[in-house]
Amino acid sequence: MLDWPLKGARKEIATPAEETTSTLLQKTNRRNFIVWFLGGLMGAIGLAGLAPLLVYIVPGAGANKFLDLPITLDKPLDQLQDGQGVSFDAPAGKGFVMADGGGDNHPGKIAFKGFAIKAGGNVALLSATCSHLGCSVSLNEGQGFSCPCHGSAFGLNGNVKRGPATSPLSHYTWKKGAKPNEIIVHGVDLPGVG
Ligand code: FES
């Protein structure tokens, strides 16, 4: 009479060997989960750290698309006298890329205005962005540049003549265009800007 409940109950009770196997399986599954979780977490952290580098390593990985920007100047370069310059602006949706810089500027920083300036017989392209805090400088022909915000002054070659700026104006990378008043400036595509 008591036979059937005892048989059922027997099925519920695990032997010591079964218990050990089950515990081991549970531990293994838990360990696998922790290993996979930590592996995934470290992978995600690694990718996040590498993302800025991928912008430079993998073409097209970053949002910026660099290009050569043809700019038409108000005055042909060969008509500039020493100490003279001509300003230019980036077209809508484009920007210029600084080749160097210090203070508030740095290589790769994007700006939207510049000067083609002749000094010492050579023409250079300088960014109009003040290296102090980023205001636009004005050109005083024959003398250099001045900033209206805090009074910094720069020579014709962009070097600091008076602070608070401590770094020269940045250069743009450029080459002459097909026409006498055309220059090709290293720039960047900025859809929706300007
Ligand atoms: S931003 Fe030009 S002097 Fe301060």
Identify the pLDDT of residue 191: 86
pTM: 0.69
Residue 131 CA to ligand 1 center (angstroms) comes to 7
Residue 154 CA to ligand 1 center (angstroms) comes to 11
Q: What are phi and psi of 24, to 5 degrees?
A: -65, -40
Over its length of 194 residues, how does the chain's per-residue pLDDT go in tens digits?
A: 444 444 444 444 444 555 555 555 566 566 665 556 555 555 554 444 444 444 444 444 456 799 999 999 999 999 999 999 999 999 999 999 999 999 999 999 999 999 999 999 999 999 999 999 999 999 999 999 999 999 999 999 999 999 999 999 999 999 999 999 999 999 999 987 76
The burial of 129, by beta-carbon neighbours within 10 Å (0-12 exposed, 13-18 middle, 19 or more buried), is given as buried
Identify the pLDDT of residue 36: 62
The burial of 178, by beta-carbon neighbours within 10 Å (0-12 exposed, 13-18 middle, 19 or more buried), is given as exposed
Ligand 1 atom at minimal distance to the Cα of residue 134: 1
Sign of the alpha-carbon dihedral angle for 126, 134, 142, 160: negative
Identify the pLDDT of residue 86: 96
Of 105, 131, 152, the residue with max ligand 1 atoms within 8 A of its CB, to mutate for a pocket test, comes to 152
Identify the pLDDT of residue 40: 54
**Distance in angstroms (rounded) separating the CA atoms of residues 68 and 83:** 27
Identify the pLDDT of residue 194: 66
**Distance in angstroms (rounded) separating the CA atoms of residues 181 and 77:** 6
Identify the pLDDT of residue 147: 98
Pocket around ligand 1: residues whose beta carbon is below 6 Å from it?
130, 132-135, 147, 149-152, 164-165
DSSP3 helix / strand / coil % (the chain, rounded to 5): 30, 30, 40
Residue 111 CA to ligand 1 center (angstroms) comes to 15
List the residue whose alpha carbon is closest to atom 1 of ligand 1.
133
- Cα-based distances in Å from 43 to 30, 34, 156: 20, 14, 51
